[in-house]
Chains A and B, each alone.
Chain A
């Protein structure tokens, strides 16, 4: 494998890790809120969070361009990440966000809410209940959600291309390199990259599935 493949692999890994970390806290909070709230807004928020799953990635990328561009609200506020690796992280995080929210919501829903009430009845604050009861009991499900989000970010293409471009050594991920190789007729290297990404995707899904099963067994 040549240097371009290793470079794309390293950038993909960095972007996927960054995207997973970026969406971990907000997606966990939103997942918890969705699992516990009785608000009338629950359905609307749940649907909005799932939108990146069904919208074409190019549409999401276009919306991100509108937000992050020089005329966009975030661009004007000095958040300049277009055509950078940070932009790739942002695009991947947005695409991974729905999967992490879904997984987190399922993980929290599997934690018996009465255990939280019992913690409060024993004098614990809500923050202490969340830290010492809810999060530990949901941890495997949360980890599975983050692993799935990592996998989604690893394979992200459309939104990343629009926001971060395809700059070798800077924003060129494996997905983008496969696309470029096919465009330029470098089928052998494209096949190698496809094999590599398939192995990674299998490992991620297998790991996430094992975590989810163990979480379900614990919750029973």
Chain B
């Protein structure tokens, strides 16, 4: 995706130049930072004053070459914050809207209905759908149009936090099932980390940071979001419980409810729910005791957020996966919230070997 856009707005100008090979790109920033305007430029809803937009190797806009592909031919699946469903149609007719325009095959529609669990809603008028159902329908409509790129503009932004938590798994599952290039606008760090593998941070129309979501979205942005830790891996269901394989030989026990063996899984874990011990604890009811190496301690008043790199089975931490090796870069990390007094009394510092402890039930399934 290559996006160079200049678009004057009332108070400032969106002036963005982003080039990335990432499939899922997040656009993160506060309200009024120009995120929606940028997305609308890609969708063709706004015409930039100048620039060039290229998605999937296809030029959608280029003022120098006088290219401005009409909206109907851009092949974008757009989900705005308010869903923008056609109010005079049923859910099914909304989902089939693209079939009237592009004549997309039925399989895309069937997959969208299955992944987003829309079958019970099909006959309903959209006016009778709840906020979460509307967003699922809007996402389904975009996916059913078999787009070349998916544009999600704070698709969960209009929902309250508990509802967002319920709809986020659908979003994650759908984006994985369709495996489309994705531009995802949000001011929620948890959502961006759950969905994207590259993030661009906008402030008054300008890019102020860019890169891997986990490293770019700092503690300040993470504060106030639902989960500081997102565990992504493969679900393994056995007779003695359910585990999530994170890679690097690390397994985390997670709740077995609704888990499917071999399926990809995404779980959220709050930093407040993670305990930190200097020695391997014994006789605990908590099922997850993971060896780790502390990488960073971010102080915020009396609170400290510790970031620790997990050590896999048979992985002698410092020697094999030192801080700068490829293996250490790929190793999963967890964040634990501590008090400054705990850090002081336990003598925790960067490089210290610790054990992270948390209950199975502290892992909340997101997708």
B144 to chain A, nearest CB (A): 9
With known contacts A128-B101, A132-B100, A122–B141 Cβ distance under 8 A: yes
B224 to chain A, nearest CB (A): 30
Tier of interface size on chain A: 10 to 19
B230 to chain A, nearest CB (A): 30
A43 to chain B, nearest CB (A): 23
- Asked whether any CB of chain B lies closer than 8 Å to the CB of A192, the reply is no
Q: Do A124 and B88 have beta carbons less than 8 Å apart?
A: no
Q: Do A121 and B100 have beta carbons less than 8 Å apart?
A: no
Q: Do B87 and A118 have beta carbons less than 8 Å apart?
A: no
With known contacts A114-B80, A128-B100, A132-B100, A121–B87 Cβ distance under 8 A: no
B233 to chain A, nearest CB (A): 35
- Asked whether any CB of chain B lies closer than 8 Å to the CB of A123, the reply is yes
With known contacts A114-B80, A125-B101, A128-B100, A120–B72 Cβ distance under 8 A: yes
- Asked whether any CB of chain B lies closer than 8 Å to the CB of A136, the reply is yes
Q: Do B145 and A123 have beta carbons less than 8 Å apart?
A: yes
Tier of interface size on chain B: 20 to 34
Kindly name the residue among B70, B71, B74, B80 whose own CB sees the greatest number of chain A CB atoms within 10 A: B71
B82 to chain A, nearest CB (A): 9
Q: Do B88 and A121 have beta carbons less than 8 Å apart?
A: no
Residue of B nearest to A117 (CB): B45
Q: Give which listed residue, B43, B44, B76, B97, contacts A124 with CB less than 8 A.
A: B97
Contacts of B86 in A (CB 8 A): 115, 118-119, 133
- What CA separation (Å) do A122 and B43 show in the bound complex? 11
Q: Give which listed residue, A114, A115, A125, A218, contacts B72 with CB less than 8 A.
A: A125
Q: Give which listed residue, B45, B84, B87, B98, contacts A123 with CB less than 8 A.
A: B98
Q: Do A118 and B84 have beta carbons less than 8 Å apart?
A: yes
- What CA separation (Å) do A132 and B88 show in the bound complex? 10
Q: Do B74 and A121 have beta carbons less than 8 Å apart?
A: yes
A154 to chain B, nearest CB (A): 31
- Asked whether any CB of chain B lies closer than 8 Å to the CB of A137, the reply is yes
- Asked whether any CB of chain A lies closer than 8 Å to the CB of B58, the reply is no
With known contacts A114-B80, A115-B86, A137-B87, A121–B102 Cβ distance under 8 A: no
- Asked whether any CB of chain A lies closer than 8 Å to the CB of B78, the reply is yes
- What CA separation (Å) do A51 and B311 show in the bound complex? 81
Q: Which of A186-205 contact B (CB under 8 A)?
A: none
- What CA separation (Å) do A137 and B102 show in the bound complex? 22
Q: Do B43 and A121 have beta carbons less than 8 Å apart?
A: yes
- What CA separation (Å) do A132 and B100 show in the bound complex? 10
Q: Do A124 and B101 have beta carbons less than 8 Å apart?
A: yes
Q: Do A122 and B84 have beta carbons less than 8 Å apart?
A: no
A127 to chain B, nearest CB (A): 11
B158 to chain A, nearest CB (A): 14
Q: Do B70 and A120 have beta carbons less than 8 Å apart?
A: yes
Q: Do B78 and A118 have beta carbons less than 8 Å apart?
A: yes
Q: Do B101 and A123 have beta carbons less than 8 Å apart?
A: yes
Q: Do B71 and A117 have beta carbons less than 8 Å apart?
A: yes
Contacts of B101 in A (CB 8 A): 119, 122-125, 128
With known contacts A117-B45, A123-B98, A128-B100, A136–B72 Cβ distance under 8 A: no
Q: Which of B42-92 contact A (CB under 8 A)?
A: 43-45, 70-74, 76-78, 80, 84, 86-88
- What CA separation (Å) do A128 and B72 show in the bound complex? 11
Kindly name the residue among A120, A123, A137, A218 whose own CB sees the greatest number of chain B CB atoms within 10 A: A123
Contacts of A115 in B (CB 8 A): 84, 86
A52 to chain B, nearest CB (A): 33
**Chain A residues near B (Cβ < 8 Å):** 112, 114-115, 117-125, 128, 132-133, 136-137, 218
**Chain B residues near A (Cβ < 8 Å):** 43-45, 70-74, 76-78, 80, 84, 86-88, 97-98, 100-104, 141, 145
**Given A120-B72, A123-B102, 10 new contacts (CB under 8 A):** A115-B84, A115-B86, A120-B71, A121-B45, A121-B76, A122-B98, A124-B101, A125-B101, A133-B86, A137-B87
**Selected A-B contacts with CB under 8 Å, 24 pairs:** A115-B84, A117-B71, A118-B78, A118-B84, A119-B101, A120-B70, A121-B74, A121-B76, A122-B72, A122-B97, A122-B98, A122-B100, A122-B102, A122-B145, A123-B100, A124-B72, A124-B97, A124-B100, A124-B101, A125-B101, A128-B100, A136-B88, A137-B88, A218-B87
